[in-house]
Amino acid sequence: MEWRKFSGEKVQIPVYDFVEQTIQKELSNGNRLKICIGADSQVKGKVIEFAVVIVFLREKKGGFMVFSKHRTIKAMSIKERMIYEVNMSVQLAYELCPALDKYGIALEVHADINTDPNFKSNVAFRDAMGYILGMGYVFKAKPHAFASSYCADRLVH
């Protein structure tokens, strides 16, 4: 996957190395970090555009993010699309965990899924929650899932 900073600048090294270097830099600057990972998608005709983000939160000092986007031409049900988003986030979290564990960085996995059964995305709520919690990650859903519902959302809309 190709990763970019919010400015659009391409991340020139593998995402794992970028995350580890960023953690080292932030910690050496005296910042306490938490990382949130989330994904979102948007159907545009026959194309589905996906975005996944890594949000670096500095305690009481704001944050920043990097992202990756891709498109697919495939019909998906709303549940399949929600689980695909969650899977992108979980796979990324799994890839980054050695660095996060090494430096004691807290991690949350955010799902762009509504907890209210009156919304379509709720069809995937239980499955997504089980998958994320089953992998041992902290789970956040709407309205607390800002990495997916706000950050990744802005990249596909």
- For the chain, give the DSSP string: ---EETTSPBP-S-HHHHHHHHHHHHHHTT--EEEEEEEEEEEETTEEEEEEEEEEEETTS-EEEEEEEEEE-----HHHHHHHHHHHHHHHHHHHHHHHHHHT-EEEEEEEEESSTTSGGGGGHHHHHHHHHHTT-EEEEETS-HIIIIIIHHHH-
Query: What confidence category does residue 128 fall into, taking pLDDT thresholds of 50, 70 and 90?
Result: very high
pLDDT score of 86 more than 90: yes
pLDDT at position 99 is: 97
The answer to pTM > 0.85 is: yes
Domain extents in the chain: 4-156
Indicate the CATH number of 4-156 among 3.30.70, 1.10.3470, 3.90.320, 3.30.420.
Answer: 3.30.420
Residue-level pLDDT at 157 = 83
Give the mean pLDDT of 23-30.
97
When the pLDDT of each residue in the chain is averaged and rounded to a whole number, the result is: 95
